[in-house]
A = this chain, B = another copy of it.
Amino acid sequence: MPEQNQDLVEGNPLILSEQEKELVRRIGTTVNYPKGQIIFAADEVADRVYLIEKGWVKIYRLSSDGREVTVGSIRNPGEMMGLAETVYHGKRTCFAGAISRVTLVVVLKKDFFELLTHEHYLALKVAKLLAARMREAEAMVHELVCCQVPGRLALLLLKIGERCGIPEDEGVKIELRLTHEEIAGMIGTTRQTVTSLLNTFKREKSIEFQGREIKILDPEKLVSWIV
C-alpha cells in the first residue's frame, strides 16, 4: 500500500484534510474505474467534481494530430479534480484518464455549490486550491520556455518522485507505470527522445528501471541536467 509522503498532506493546499474529505464523501457517491478508463472527456458538460480516493489520474488534451498533451499534472489521492471547469464555465476542455485503478467520489455541481455556501470556509479552500494549481501551471509554462528536453524530463521525474514516490532503500520508487509516450506528452517531446534520455539517465546511474517502474537513485545528478 503506497503511503503518502506525510509532510505533503499537512499544509499542502492541493490535498484535502480528512474532515474536508468527509464532507465531500457525505454528499457524493463512490465509484471505481479500471486502469485506462476515461473519466470525463472534452466538450462534456462539467456538472460534477471528483475527489480521488485511490489511484492516479492524468489530465490531458488532445492535439490536432491525436497526441495526448498532459496540461495539468497528475492528480494524486486526496486531490480534487474537474474543479476549474465546474466552478467556471459549462464545458470540459480536457480529458481525465485513469492511470491506474481508481476510486473516486463523484459530487454533482449543485450539491457541491450548496456545500460551498454552507461550509463557506470551503469556498476559500477551493480558491486556494485553484491558486496553487495556477502556480503549478505557470511553473510548467516557465519550464517549457526555459529548459530544454533533458532538463524537463529530469524535472518531471523529480516532481513525480516528490509527489507520489515511495522512499525505499537507496532511492525513491515511482510506482506509476507510465509509458514513454505518456511521459513525452507531459514534457512536450517525442517518445523516442524520452526513451533515449531515460537510458542516458540510467547509464549515469541517476535512475534505474525495475520492470516498468522507475527508481530515482541520485536526485542531485538529475538536478544537474536542469539548465
A100 to B82, CA, bound (A): 37
Size bracket of the A interface:
35 or more
- Considering only residues 128-177 of chain A, those with a C-beta below 8 Å from chain B are 128, 130-135, 137-142, 144-146
Cβ contacts under 8 Å, A71 to chain B? 138-139, 141-142
The A interface, classified by DSSP as helix, strand, loop or mixed, is helix
Work out how many copies of this chain go into the complex: 2
A87 to B188, CA, bound (A): 30
Q: Is the CB of A93 within 8 A of B131?
A: no
Asked whether A94 is an interface residue with its Cβ less than 8 Å from the other chain, the reply is yes
Q: Which of B63, B87, B120, B128 contacts A88 (CB 8 A)?
A: B128
- Considering only residues 79-138 of chain A, those with a C-beta below 8 Å from chain B are 83-85, 87-89, 93-94, 116-117, 120, 123-124, 126-128, 130-135, 137-138
Q: Report which A residues bind B (CB closer than 8 A).
A: 13, 61, 63-64, 67, 69, 71-72, 83-85, 87-89, 93-94, 116-117, 120, 123-124, 126-128, 130-135, 137-142, 144-146, 185, 188, 227
